[in-house]
Amino acid sequence: MGSLPIGRQTAFVPRAAFGVTIRPAVNENDLSLTKTEPHPAATGKGASASAKFDPLIGSTLAERYEVVRRIGEGGMGAVYEARHSIIGKRVAIKVLLEKFLENQEFIARLLQEARLASSIGHQNIVDVTDFGTTRDGRAFVVMEFLEGEPLSELIMRDAPLPVERSLHIIKQVASALGAAHSKGIVHRDVKPENVYLVRRGEQDFVKVVDFGVSKAVRSPEEGSSEWQRLTRTGAVLGTPLFMSPEQAAGSEDIDERADIWATALILYECLTGELPFRGNNYLGVIAQIQNKDVSPPSALRPELGIPAAVDRLVMHGLQRDRPRRCQKMAHFEDNVDRLLAGATDVVLGFDGAAEPDLAPPRRGRWSWYLAVAAVLAAGVTAAALLLEGGRESPALPMSGSSVVRRPAHPSPLALPEPGRPLPQVRPPAPAPSPAAGSALDRIRHAGRPRPARPAAPVVLPAPAVKKSKADDKVAPSPYAPPQVP
């Protein structure tokens, strides 16, 4: 059901928070994004022609409620200001639109709102006091008249809000929804438009309204068939921007953790002035809720100095996986109380849920591509260096091979025969300096150790042989040919 203003009139139209976030109302009939327009009579500039002919204005409902003016209109009904004819008390009356006159499901949903809201009995939930039908058969509910503004208007005008004020508002929202959960009632459409702020002194006093799409998890007074008809399988009810992932998926098993998600998301918007999910249509928002990683508030707006404990509280409520999310609204409220009392941390995990992951979301696809390209480039460079090194290194015989290569030069340490000149050993050419070579050479030799310069060969002198006088007399060889005289 589209939210409706009560009391001081404000304009409910689709808005873009800071030009990036769409804030539409959702019509449960066709699940499309629609407007919730104020009635012209509520603008204070005089009644239009259509307002003058509204048959309900000036009439008396149930013989005791005198309709004064039309305040606004939503997807299912219109809200009027009325006065009790006997005690003079101002009340607000929500009347089902004429086009739903014969829609029994919508009539039952309006009756359900009256019953659920009145059964909770909490100071932060709008008080519903009566129920009836108009002369033409349209159902209506009577509730307390509120003078103030919806939280959505405050966010659009003043966000980001101070941390303390944001926590003070969310504490009351959590308290109201926790009371509803204790009665087995899940709101399922928690959003700033359904959080009404009534000024009491210098403090914001919260009233949670619009239980029209609420789900009774257990109802001992009603038969299960009626409640199943109102929450039939696959029905996606609520406002898409504040739907939990399980609601967006059309899950049947919707419990109080859906309200915890929406409450944490409201706190996120109060603190930052923005929402993490942005889209131009219904399907785009739904896809982001189910797939997009949420950045902590302090990461989105680091200049605001949002405390780390507040980050943890918000992210604990925005876990996409329900078992990791805060499990009870009472635990969420307790942590808000701790922060308001000056605590610098929050208690997580006492409800069996895992610690929230406050790491920034995964990098985008382009970062992944760049990382892969860098790894490939490093592999190609390493391969080139190995090939280059293989050309310069001499081939060594394999272990166990029968082929033994003779050394190309004699060992510099081998002793020469006496009197034979020493072989000239050419020293190896020195390796070129990286600085003197080309850029490619410098890159190749940058990370490689320089080979050790071989030691100069040791040249040993021939051993001295002592001569005697007998050595000068050489006897002729008997095999030498005779000399001819």
Q: What is the biggest distance separating any 2 CA atoms in the chain, rounded to whole angstroms?
A: 176
Give the 3-state secondary structure of residue 90.
strand
Other Cβ atoms closer than 10 A to 69: 17
Identify the band that residue 401 occupies on the pLDDT scale cut at 50, 70 and 90.
Answer: very low
CA–CA distance, 348 with 345 (Å, rounded to integer): 9
- Site of tokens 């190896």: 428
Residue 65 pLDDT? 97
Residue 57 pLDDT? 94
pLDDT at residue 393 tops 60 = no
Residue 143 pLDDT? 93
Identify the band that residue 62 occupies on the pLDDT scale cut at 50, 70 and 90.
Answer: very high
Give residue limits of the domains in the chain: 15-340
Q: Are 122 and 139 a contacting pair, CB within 8 Å?
A: no
> What is the chain's Cα-based Rg?
44
Residue 47 pLDDT? 43
Other Cβ atoms closer than 10 A to 10: 18
CA–CA distance, 352 with 347 (Å, rounded to integer): 12
**pLDDT tens-digit readout, 225-275:** 443 334 333 344 457 889 999 999 988 889 999 999 999 999 999 999 999
CA–CA distance, 186 with 193 (Å, rounded to integer): 17
**pLDDT tens-digit readout, 454-473:** 555 655 565 555 555 555 55
Distances (CA, A) of 74 to 103, 221, 460: 16, 29, 111
**Active centre residues (catalytic):** 189
CA–CA distance, 223 with 202 (Å, rounded to integer): 45
Token pair listed for 202: 């210098």
Q: What is the mean pLDDT of residues 130-134?
A: 90
Task: Write down the mean pLDDT value for the chain.
Answer: 73
HSE (CB half, 13 Å, CA atoms) of 252? 5
CA–CA distance, 253 with 260 (Å, rounded to integer): 15
Q: Reply yes or no: is the peptide bond before residue 192 cis, omega within 30 of 0.
A: no
HSE (CB half, 13 Å, CA atoms) of 433? 2
Other Cβ atoms closer than 10 A to 165: 14
CA–CA distance, 123 with 172 (Å, rounded to integer): 9
Q: What is the mean pLDDT of residues 186-206?
A: 92
Residue at 484: amino acid letter: V
Distances (CA, A) of 95 to 51, 73, 85, 128, 415: 15, 9, 18, 13, 119
**pLDDT tens-digit readout, 347-365:** 886 444 445 555 544 444 5
Q: What is the mean pLDDT of residues 62-83?
A: 91
Q: From its phi and psi, is residue 331 left (phi > 0), alpha (psi between -120 and 50) or beta?
A: alpha
pLDDT at residue 389 tops 70 = no
Q: Are 67 and 59 a contacting pair, CB within 8 Å?
A: yes
Q: Are 410 and 426 a contacting pair, CB within 8 Å?
A: no
Q: What is the mean pLDDT of residues 392-405?
A: 46
Residue 46 pLDDT? 45
* Whether this model's pTM surpasses 0.75: no
Q: Report the residue count for the chain.
A: 485
**pLDDT tens-digit readout, 277-318:** 887 888 888 999 999 999 999 999 999 999 999 999 999 999
**pLDDT tens-digit readout, 421-465:** 655 656 555 555 544 455 545 545 555 555 556 555 655 565 555
CATH class of the region 15-340: mainly alpha
In this structure, of 190-194, 321-325, 368-372, the range with the lowest mean pLDDT score is 368-372
Q: What is the mean pLDDT of residues 170-193?
A: 94
Residue 453 pLDDT? 60
Identify the band that residue 20 occupies on the pLDDT scale cut at 50, 70 and 90.
Answer: very low
